[in-house]
Structure 1
Amino acid sequence: MNQIAQVLTIAGSDSGGGAGIQADLKTFQMRSVFGASVITAVTAQNTLGVSHIHTLPLDSIRAQIRAVAEDFSISACKIGMLGTAEITECVAEMLRNRPFGRLVLDPVMIAKGGAPLLQSDAVAALKRSLLPLADVVTPNLPEAEALTGISISSDADTERAARLLQEAGAQNVVIKGGHSGQSQSSVCRDWVFTPDAHFALESPRMPTPHTHGTGCTFAACITAELAKGADIETAVKLAKQFITAAISQPLNIGHGHGPVNHWAFQTA
């Protein structure tokens, strides 16, 4: 009998259940892979915002990574919220020898409600230490601008930013367009850049506030598909379908930016 694919998320805990570790594990379950987790921070948050952040000691993070590495056969790893430069460097050092296969980096910087989730000095650490390890990096437009220093207002700007991220070491870049000035458009466009090609993925733009956990879920789905053996293009396209379904069929939970619906996309 074939062993089920095993994946890892390294990220923060969301007490509201819509993003971070919780969103990742829900996505892994829906995509039929076994998910392990390493928690970098504990956040007190709900659909209305983040009220408190407690980052874990580096020794605890190292111990969690070692525990997973000692007992599981991880095929792909997703990195989300890191919080500080020290945690970023710690995680990079633990992953330098690539113990967990393919690496998907979601450079989480700001929560849906606007709270900062990555300290400013940690951006440089992320660029220096983690981008060179990433098989895929999945910034939204503001994150791509922060990582590259480019103001993105056109497709040409987007391509230039993606190429800079590739020059910094990321093999494949997905720049998510949900935050763009096209917000008045009926279409949401993401851009995918591989070493050999680039293409856009489009979906209808949904008029809903229930988008909490969108980026986490999208990156987690890519991670799951890579762990099962999909190539980059196939994994990204399926993740786009997964998150489009999750946004288009909202759960209507909470009084603010509610979580996406991880049950919406049922195809195994």
Structure 2
Amino acid sequence: MKKINQTPQVVTIAGSDSGGGAGMQADLKTFQARGVFGMNVVLALTAQNTLGVQQSMTVAPEFITAQFASLAADFHIRACKTGMLADEVRVHSVVENLQKVDFGPLVVDPVMIAKGGHSLLNDTAVASIKRDLLPLATLVTPNIPEAEVLSGLSITNDLQMQKVAAYLQSLGVKNVLIKGGHRDSERASDFLLLENEESYWIHAPKIKTKRTHGTGDTLSAAIVAELAKGASLVQATYLAKCFLQGAILNEIQVGHGHGPLNHWADLVTEVQLEQQ
């Protein structure tokens, strides 16, 4: 049994993207690319492509619990993440189950809006994430619009990113990564605030492209993979950004809208890590 469980194992707790570019499909592709064995707990299904989300349906809480129990009974999971959580009922189910199992460090990607503009999370679910899920998390990884919703504060400059990160940390999450790709600048600069009060900026050249479907899923999944392999949180975040940059830079031509990333891509070295 010990030999079987030597391979780093991880799980994504998220929704399914039938178009394969985001959600648990992006997570599983990232896990494979980064050398860990990936599993999933399905919370919702979507009829989705690069043009948007056409329909969605949720999974019953009883079946969510069954999936958690099945994985916990057989695998040695070293890190996990959440993605699209759909609604308050699903958030509550995930929180209850995470309190029963040991799936290692938890990365929360607070997915709220699809690339095509479709809302993926209602207000009561956001409140439940803030109140119940974030205190369980090792890291939360909002982009700027998501960080603004979670905090009720606006972000237009570096100082405001730092203030919002501190606010999110006050909600109980140990570490915060605010992704800066939505800002109008030549670099995509992410701010990482650690529980020991150290902080870092992670910079990469911004790439002008519409093929960015699944960027948040991919980054958070890559962080989970690196944590499962034993990296520190700073190392894991840096390596994940290197992988994401390569996945965006080396485009593939799929779909007619916001196309998916290239999960075959290698790490790039043009990412800069700067301690604050």
Query: How high is the TM-score relative to the length of structure 1?
Result: 0.96
The 2-side partners of 1:7 and 1:57 are apart by: 23
For structure 2, the residue ranges without an aligned partner over 5 or more in a row are: 269-276
- Is contact 2:137-2:173 (8 Å) kept? yes
- Is contact 1:38-1:61 (8 Å) kept? yes
1:160 has 2:155 as partner: no
The 2-side partners of 1:232 and 1:202 are apart by: 16
Deviation per CA, 1:155-213, whole angstroms, max 9, x where unpaired? 11111111111111111111001112x2xx22111111112211111111111100000
The 1-side partners of 2:266 and 2:57 are apart by: 33
Q: Paired residue for 2:134, among 119, 131, 136?
A: 131
- Is contact 1:30-1:266 (8 Å) kept? no
Q: Paired residue for 1:29, among 29, 32, 41?
A: 32
The aligned length equals 264
The 2-side partners of 1:127 and 1:220 are apart by: 21
The 1-side partners of 2:108 and 2:191 are apart by: 16
1:94 is displaced (CA, Å) by 0.7
* Corresponding letter in the other structure for 2:65: R
- Is contact 1:212-1:258 (8 Å) kept? yes
RMSD, aligned α-carbons: 1.2
> What corresponds to 2:190 in structure 1?
190
> What corresponds to 2:94 in structure 1?
91
> What corresponds to 1:222 in structure 2?
223
* Corresponding letter in the other structure for 2:216: G
> What corresponds to 1:243 in structure 2?
244
Distance 1:150 1:98, change over 3 A: farther
Comparing 96-105 and 80-89, the one that deviates more: 96-105
Q: What pairs up with 1:110-129 in 2 under 5 angstroms?
A: 110-129=113-132
> What corresponds to 1:13 in structure 2?
16
> Counterpart of 2:14 in 1: which secondary structure?
strand
- Is contact 2:246-2:267 (8 Å) kept? no
The 2-side partners of 1:193 and 1:98 are apart by: 27
Deviation per CA, 1:217-250, whole angstroms, max 9, x where unpaired? 0000000000111100000000000000000111
* Corresponding letter in the other structure for 1:224: A
> What corresponds to 2:274 in structure 1?
none
1:97 is displaced (CA, Å) by 4.3
* Corresponding letter in the other structure for 1:207: K
The 1-side partners of 2:163 and 2:267 are apart by: 36
> Counterpart of 1:87 in 2: which secondary structure?
helix
The 2-side partners of 1:266 and 1:6 are apart by: 21
Q: What pairs up with 1:138-217 in 2 under 5 angstroms?
A: 138-180=141-183, 182=184, 185-195=185-195, 196-217=197-218
Query: How high is the TM-score relative to the length of structure 2?
Result: 0.93
Deviation per CA, 1:21-64, whole angstroms, max 9, x where unpaired? 10000000011100110000000000000000101111111111
Distance 1:245 1:266, change over 3 A: closer
- Is contact 1:13-1:43 (8 Å) kept? yes
> What corresponds to 2:256 in structure 1?
255
* Corresponding letter in the other structure for 1:239: A
> Counterpart of 1:240 in 2: which secondary structure?
helix
The 1-side partners of 2:79 and 2:236 are apart by: 12
Displacement over 6 Å in runs of 4+: none
**Percent of aligned pairs with the same amino acid:** 53
